[in-house]
């Protein structure tokens, strides 16, 4: 994308068309050689009058153009994006430490005397808290003085201090996650003139436009001065444009220089000065001026530039940093801090000298500042710590809301963002990728992505799109479409289990080698990961140990169409290719899409579209459309329960058994590992009773990483689940399903006491009838498993 957006291009285009039309009309009559009578009639007075009328019309046109631009920019408040509010109630799973962290994140101050909103005190597990008032879309939450007691990782009581009454449920104000402009792809951090460090506007005026407060938009003296300087030097060394002219130029960014253009800019500058006062123009300048380019994204305005170059808000910049930004005004690419640091440093020092000359700063201050380095710390180009999540918010807004609604300013967007889950996900991904990267000698090439949702509601709690989560670059969670490998297997096995008269978890499958003709006559013979064939195996075992040969055989028996249909019912929107390799996941999905598929399994067969926006409010508190929780049963919950009992076994005795060392005791989970050819992709998708998390690790250049699903992504997943309070898998309650002890190797009915017995679910009446050798007379169907779940 060029530096300017198409939105801005439009007025330029209309310029051009007029530019061609207008002068020709004026000049043509003079050049022609018409009849003599005509010549007398069309005298110079008429030409003058015509020219005058045209000029006036032209100026009026320019006036409209520039005012529309200026007004459009001036009040453009970003939409405020909020996370989920923390709900406090007796029984809420929340440790006192997490609570304190959340309070600090919300900007609550620790105080000995809690006497005003936004303060708290803590003594062990007891908090006194003065909450801030907040206007939720569905009602006001007043500021409230309360005592909150924690014990055993839970909220015990919430009490109103005033009257001692117990509060059933209290919502704290949500965390502001960031600001976005939902209707376009451009981020800005708008600043108000009174909020910026005074040195910035003073320095700008000193360097760019000394007569700013005196002129009326153009400064003939400055132009003359610049022309002289340029003549002397034999090149353009000085510009004569006022800041007002520069602002106009930025509105219609174009690199073309022409006299016609300059003339128009000058007229518009005068018009701007006529309509608006100096401070308004200066503020617009601060927010509009072009200061850099990050790939496709133009960095406009000092607010955003400050984050981009120094990773801190404008208010916190030092003198040399302010001077550096002023230096960039003249040519962000010519003075690019990365490519031409020396050039930029020189110009910064020149700026400091000018500031001292103009008595904006003292000579000493200038000299002192000149000794410091540039201190560039590339930060996030945007007003948020969570660029990956914000990108999802932006996309869902654009998908679900009308454009007219989104252009209204100062929207308040309430999202499902959970700061604690996000933090756990970021930390887990960062820590594990660093570690794995080092162990495998990947030289910083290992990348990853995480999506975490609530299993019931499909609400997206956290999104990480880069191992450096603050970096607003390629969002792998949403955009990295990678082969999913064995993550597809649950869909294959579910397709089988749905034919419960034909397939159960104990049905025998054939895991012997298989070859088939692929497209273009090639022979395809998939191998098992351990390169062995396992003969006849029970169905559950083929899934739990992720046997490829058995899966392909099963899939060929079931047929591609049936499996594609299952995938679609789980929520896949992509076309499923009817190739055998599809059965082993040779099909690309993004981590976000995979999350959608597993969501249906995690919520027991109910397809729940992933949701990131709860409500949107206008700046006046008016409530825009709401997108409620949606559920649609697309798979029989009984069949899902059977599948989940096997996916739980994956995490106990299967490919993800290492989870047993990672997770807290009693936290039962279900999941599946995924590894693709040559270990290019490492996946883990799994869920507890409350959270679903999907993790992908791999390289952007799609080279091998040496990681399997369990040696890579699983470790990140385990760290996340181990660090957030979550509930174990719920016990399935459907009457259609019963649990039986099954002998691992034979798939025959066994007994809890028997070695190698595992507990699996069967649709009522389909459990194996034959007994294993070990099984004793009495049956104790499933009580252990149910107890485990009911804990």
Partner 1 sequence: MMHRKLVGITLLLLAGCSVSPPQPEGQQGFEVEPVAADQPQIRPSPQTSKAALALLAKARQAANEGRLSVAEAQLERALRIEPQNAVLWHYMAKLRLHQGQLSQAAGLAAKSNSLDQGNQELQANNWRIIAQARYQKGDKSGAEAAQRHAEQLLE
Catalytic residues: 208, 486
629 scored as a contact of partner 1 (CB under 8 A): yes
Q: Closer to partner 1 at the Cβ: 163 or 168?
A: 168
Among 83, 485, 637, 686, interactor with partner 1 by CB under 8 A: 637
Contact pick of 628, 666, 773, 778 for partner 1 (by CB under 8 A): 628
Establish if 770 lies at the interface with partner 1 (CB under 8 A): no
Pair of tokens at residue 481:
């479409």
158 or 506, CB closer to partner 1? 158
Length of the chain: 791
Give me the 661-690 binding string for partner 1, x by CB under 8 A, dash otherwise.
-----------------------------x
Straight-line distance from the first to the last Cα atom of the chain, in angstroms, rounded to the nearest whole number: 56
Residue where the block lists tokens 């209309």: 14
d(CA 285, CA 192): 11
* CA-closest candidate to residue 582, choices 704, 484, 680: 484
Q: Does 717 bind partner 1 (CB under 8 A)?
A: no
Burial (CB count <10 Å: 0-12, 13-18, 19+), residue 310? buried
**Could you please report the per-residue DSSP string of 344-413?**
HHHHHHHHHHHHHHTTSS-HHHHHHHHTS--------SSSBS-HHHHHHHHHHHHHHS-HHHHHSTT-EE
Residue 604 contacts partner 1 per CB under 8 A: yes
Min dist CB 628 to partner 1, Å, is: 5
Q: Assign 135 to helix, strand or coil.
A: strand
For partner 1, the closer of residues 145 and 631 by Cβ is 631
Residue whose CB is less far from partner 1, 568 or 702: 568
State how far the Cα of 127 lies from the Cα of 706, in Å rounded to an integer. Answer: 48
Site for partner 1 in 23-62 (CB under 8 A): none
Q: Name the 3-class secondary structure at 678.
A: helix
Nearer to partner 1, 534 or 691 (CB): 691
**Type and span of the H or E element at 262:** helix 259-275
x-or-dash pattern for partner 1, window 554-593, by CB under 8 A? ----------------------------------------
DSSP character for 278? H
Footprint of partner 1 on residues 349-378 (CB under 8 A)?
none
CA distances from 114 to 102, 109, 588 (A): 17, 9, 54
Shortest distance, position 139 Cβ to partner 1, whole Å: 8
Question: Which CB, 164 or 521, lies closer to partner 1?
Answer: 164
Instruction: Map the footprint of partner 1 across residues 219-248, applying CB under 8 A.
Output: none
Cβ contact 602:692 at 8 Å: yes
Helix intervals (H) in 511-619: 539-544, 548-558, 560-570, 591-602
* Cβ proximity to partner 1, 175 vs 223, nearer residue: 175
Binding mask 161-200 for partner 1 (x = CB under 8 A): -------xx-------------------------------
Q: Least distance to partner 1 from the beta carbon of 455, Å?
A: 8
Return the half-sphere exposure (C-beta side, CA atoms, 13 A cut-off) of residue 755: 0
Contact 181, 188 (CB under 8 A): yes
Task: Please name the helix (run of DSSP H) or strand (run of DSSP E) that holds residue 147, with its range, or none.
Answer: strand 144-151
- Extract the tokens encoding 356: 């001292």
Taking CB under 8 A as the criterion, the residue among 273, 510, 730, 774 binding partner 1 is 730
For partner 1, give the closer residue by CB, 366 or 616: 616
Q: Out of 139, 234, 521, 765, which residue is the one contacting partner 1 (CB under 8 A)?
A: 139
Residue 678 to residue 16: CA distance in whole angstroms: 56
Residue 544 or 643: the one with the smaller Cβ distance to partner 1 is 643
- The Cα 105–Cα 239 span in angstroms is 46
Q: What is the largest CA-CA distance in the chain?
A: 126
Among 632, 678, 770, 780, interactor with partner 1 by CB under 8 A: 632
**Position among 105, 508, 734, 781 found at the interface with partner 1 (CB under 8 A):** 734
Locus of tokens 């999907």: 694
**Interaction of residue 614 with partner 1, rule CB under 8 A:** yes
728: nearest Cα among 676, 684, 675, 664: 664
**From 111, 350, 376, 631, residue interacting with partner 1 (rule: CB under 8 A):** 631
Binding flag, residue 623, partner 1 (CB under 8 A): yes
Binding to partner 1, residues 447-506 (CB under 8 A)? 454-457
Contacts by 225-228, CB closer than 8 A, 24 or more apart? none
Rounded-to-integer distance, Cα 246 and Cα 531, Å: 68
Q: What is the closest distance, in whole angstroms, from the C-beta atom of residue 601 to partner 1 in the complex?
A: 13
Which one of 633, 653, 658, 702 is in contact with partner 1 (CB under 8 A)?
A: 633
Task: Compute how many residues bind partner 1; rule: CB under 8 A.
Answer: 31
Among 28, 43, 45, 91, binds partner 1 (CB under 8 A): 91
Query: In which residue are the tokens 């975490």 written?
Result: 452
Which residues, in sequence order, are bridge partners of residue 237? none
Of the listed pieces 555-563, 584-592, 620-628, 781-789, which binds partner 1 according to CB under 8 A? 620-628
Please identify, using beta-carbon distances, which residue of 208 and 690 lies nearer to partner 1.
690
Residue placing its CB nearer to partner 1 in the complex, 136 or 474: 136
Closest CB 457 distance from partner 1, rounded Å: 7
Task: Name the minimum Å distance from CB 328 to partner 1.
Answer: 47
Binding region for partner 1 (CB under 8 A) out of 88-96, 296-304, 521-529, 569-577: 88-96
Is 700 a residue that touches partner 1 (CB under 8 A)?
no
Q: Is 733 in the site for partner 1 (CB under 8 A)?
A: yes
* Contact with partner 1 (CB under 8 A) among 606, 684, 687, 740: 606
Distance CA 515, CA 629 (A): 46
Tell me which stretch binds partner 1 (CB under 8 A): 1-9, 215-223, 372-380, 599-607: 599-607
Alpha carbons 64 and 735: distance in angstroms, whole number: 72
Q: Which of 387, 571, 605, 671 binds partner 1 (CB under 8 A)?
A: 605
Q: Does 738 bind partner 1 (CB under 8 A)?
A: no
Nearest to 199 by CA among 354, 338, 382: 354
Strand order in the sheet with 681-687: 460-464, 446-454, 691-699, 681-687, 670-675
109 lies in the binding site for partner 1 (CB under 8 A) = no
* Shortest Å distance, C-beta 632 to partner 1: 4
The phi and psi torsions of 743 (rounded to 5 degrees) equal: -75, 125
By the rule CB under 8 A, 142 interacts with partner 1: no
- Least separation in angstroms between residue 117's CB and partner 1 is 23
**Closest CA relative to residue 88, chosen from 45, 42, 120:** 120
Positions in the binding site for partner 1 (CB under 8 A): 87, 89-92, 138-139, 168-169, 454-457, 604-606, 614-615, 623, 626, 628-633, 637, 690, 730, 733-734
């Amino acid at each position: 994308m060029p530096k300017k957006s198409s939105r801005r291009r439009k007025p330029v285009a209309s310029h051009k068309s007029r530019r061609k039309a207008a002068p020709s009309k004026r000049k043509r009559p003079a050049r022609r050689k018409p009849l003599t009578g005509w010549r007398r009639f069309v005298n110079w007075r008429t030409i003058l009058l015509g020219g005058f009328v045209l000029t006036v019309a032209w100026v009026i046109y320019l006036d409209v153009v520039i005012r529309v631009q200026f007004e459009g920019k001036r009040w453009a408040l970003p939409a405020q994006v909020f996370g989920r509010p923390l709900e406090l109630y007796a029984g809420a799973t929340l440790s006192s430490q997490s609570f304190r962290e959340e309070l600090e994140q919300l900007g609550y101050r620790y105080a000995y005397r809690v006497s005003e909103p936004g303060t708290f005190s803590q003594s062990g597990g007891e908090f006194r808290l003065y909450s801030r008032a907040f206007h939720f879309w569905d009602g006001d939450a007043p500021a409230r003085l309360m005592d909150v007691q924690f014990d055993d990782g839970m909220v015990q009581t919430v009490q109103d201090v005033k009257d001692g009454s117990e509060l059933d449920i209290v919502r704290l104000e949500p965390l502001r996650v960031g600001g976005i402009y939902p209707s376009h792809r451009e981020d800005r951090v708008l600043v108000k003139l009174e909020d910026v460090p005074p040195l910035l506007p003073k320095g700008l005026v000193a360097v760019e436009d000394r007569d700013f407060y005196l002129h009326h938009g153009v400064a003939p003296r400055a132009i003359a001065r610049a022309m002289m300087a340029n003549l002397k030097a034999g090149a353009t060394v000085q510009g004569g444009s006022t800041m007002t002219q520069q602002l106009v130029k930025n509105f219609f960014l174009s690199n073309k220089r022409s006299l016609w253009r300059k003339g128009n800019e000058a007229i518009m500058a005068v018009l701007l000065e006529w309509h608006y006062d100096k401070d308004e123009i200066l503020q617009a300048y601060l927010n509009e001026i072009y200061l850099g380019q990050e790939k496709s994204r133009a960095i406009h305005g000092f607010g955003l530039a400050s984050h981009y170059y120094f990773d801190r808000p404008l208010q916190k910049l030092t003198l040399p940093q302010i001077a550096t930004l002023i230096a960039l005004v003249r040519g962000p690419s010519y003075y690019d801090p990365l490519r031409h640091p020396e050039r930029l440093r020189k110009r910064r020092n020149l700026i400091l000298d000018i500031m001292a000359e103009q008595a904006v700063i003292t000579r000493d201050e200038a000299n002192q500042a000149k000794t410091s380095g540039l201190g560039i710390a590339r930060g996030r180009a945007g007003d948020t710590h969570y660029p990956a999540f914000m990108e999802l918010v932006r996309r869902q807004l654009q998908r679900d809301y009308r454009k007219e609604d989104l252009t209204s300013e100062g929207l308040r967007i309430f999202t499902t963002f959970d700061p604690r889950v996000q933090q756990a996900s970021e930390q887990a991904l960062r820590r594990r990728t660093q570690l794995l990267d080092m162990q495998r000698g990947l030289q910083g090439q290992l990348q990853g992505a995480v999506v975490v949702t609530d299993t019931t509601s499909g609400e997206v709690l956290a999104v990480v799109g880069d191992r450096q989560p603050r970096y607003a670059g390629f969002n792998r969670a949403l955009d990295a479409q990678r082969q999913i490998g064995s993550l597809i297997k649950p869909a294959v096995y579910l397709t089988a289990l749905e034919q419960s008269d034909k397939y159960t978890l104990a049905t025998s499958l054939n895991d012997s080698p298989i070859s088939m003709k692929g497209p273009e006559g090639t022979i395809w013979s998939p191998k098992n990961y351990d390169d062995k064939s396992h003969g006849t195996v029970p169905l559950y075992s083929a899934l739990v140990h992720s046997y490829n040969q058995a899966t392909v055989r099963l899939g060929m028996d079931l047929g591609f169409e049936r499996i594609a249909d299952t995938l679609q019912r789980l929520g896949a929107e992509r076309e499923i290719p009817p190739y055998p390799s599809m059965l082993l996941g040779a099909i690309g999905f993004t981590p976000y899409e995979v999350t959608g598929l597993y969501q249906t399994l995690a919520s027991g067969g109910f397809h729940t579209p992933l949701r990131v926006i709860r409500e949107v409010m206008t700046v006046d508190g008016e409530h825009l459309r709401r997108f409620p929780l949606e559920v649609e049963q697309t798979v029989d919950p009984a069949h899902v329960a059977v599948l989940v009992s096997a996916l739980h076994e994956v995490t106990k005795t299967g490919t993800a058994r290492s989870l047993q060392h990672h997770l807290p005791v009693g936290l039962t989970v279900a999941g599946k590992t995924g590894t693709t050819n040559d270990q290019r992709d490492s996946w883990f998708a799994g869920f507890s009773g409350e959270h679903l998390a999907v993790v992908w690790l791999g390289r952007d250049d799609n080279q091998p990483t040496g990681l399997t699903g369990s040696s890579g992504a699983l470790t990140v997943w385990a760290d996340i689940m181990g660090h957030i309070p979550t509930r174990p898998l719920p016990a399935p309650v459907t009457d259609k399903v019963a649990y039986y002890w099954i002998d691992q190797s034979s798939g025959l009915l066994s007994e809890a006491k028997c070695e190698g017995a595992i507990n699996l679910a069967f649709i009522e009446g389909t459990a194996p009838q034959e007994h294993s050798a070990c099984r004793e007379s009495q049956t104790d169907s499933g009580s252990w498993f149910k107890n485990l779940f009911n804990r």
